[in-house]
Copies of this chain bind each other. A is one copy, B any other.
Amino acid sequence: MESTVKFISKPRLKEPALIEGLPGMGYVGKLAAEHLAEELHAKKFAELYSPHFPHHVAIEPGGVLRLVKNDFYHASSNGKDIIIVVGDAQAVTPEGHHEVVEKILDVAEQFGVKQLFTLGGYATGRYSKTKPKVVGVFSSPELIEEYKKYDITIERGGGPIIGASGLLLGRGKLRGMSGLCLLGETHGMVVDHRSAKVVLEVLNNILGIKVDMTHLEHRAKETERMLERIRKEMELRARRERRREEEEAWYIG
């Protein structure tokens, strides 16, 4: 059984860039892409359903259910057409991930997409007081030159990118699409609007898009307060743990 794309409309777009933000680390990519879609009053034109998504349905406020899915929106800003892919879930198996990504790329190809921007987070396991870094990962070396003027950290080496954000770029490259993955630094245990905000700022700079960030900034402040609380609790717990270990060491040793 295959994933299927159901079209609501077939917009005419001029070489649109595709921006992806699906659930992942800290929900950074999803939050950023959803904010962008909202502020640009993007219009949904297709839905992707997959047997590789979890076998449950989401329940919306009011008790109405819907299938877990990925949505395609289109918008225009500054004369630039974009497609935004957001959604509830990613596939549950490696094979499912590969298949869903191919379906997204089929849509991208159909609308003449040449550029992919995928958004996500990378977990550090701690709360950084300073502005979160945005790490850029590129589908080919030439792009580094093009994008290094933006506020992007170019990581030398590093672990793999798991899920759609990486696979879209990897498989998109086989179809001749260039790609940039923007990963916001994030704690990893918290839905992180603060990191989403900095990721979106970088993306907007690149695409020359201007959107109101007020709502995201407001939520980012909440995230900061929550992270501050978690930091304190973890310190406390670590102190207790240390004390217990010392006592045990004394007891055994």
- Chain A residues with a Cβ under 8 A of chain B: 1, 6, 49-68, 91-99, 102, 135-141, 144, 154-163, 166-167, 169-171, 173-174, 181, 244, 247, 252
Contact check, B154 vs A55: say whether CB atoms are below 8 A apart. Answer: no
How many Å from the CB of A7 to the closest CB on chain B? 13
Report B-chain residues with C-beta under 8 Å of the C-beta of A139: 64-65
Report B-chain residues with C-beta under 8 Å of the C-beta of A68: 160
Contact check, B144 vs A65: say whether CB atoms are below 8 A apart. Answer: no
Q: Closest residue to A160 on the B side, CB-wise? A: B56
Highest count of chain B CB atoms <10 Å: which of A61, A137, A155, A171: A137
How many Å from the CB of A87 to the closest CB on chain B? 14
Complexed CA–CA distance, A1 and B167 (Å)? 15
Report B-chain residues with C-beta under 8 Å of the C-beta of A144: 62-64
Report B-chain residues with C-beta under 8 Å of the C-beta of A65: 137-139, 161, 166, 169-170, 181
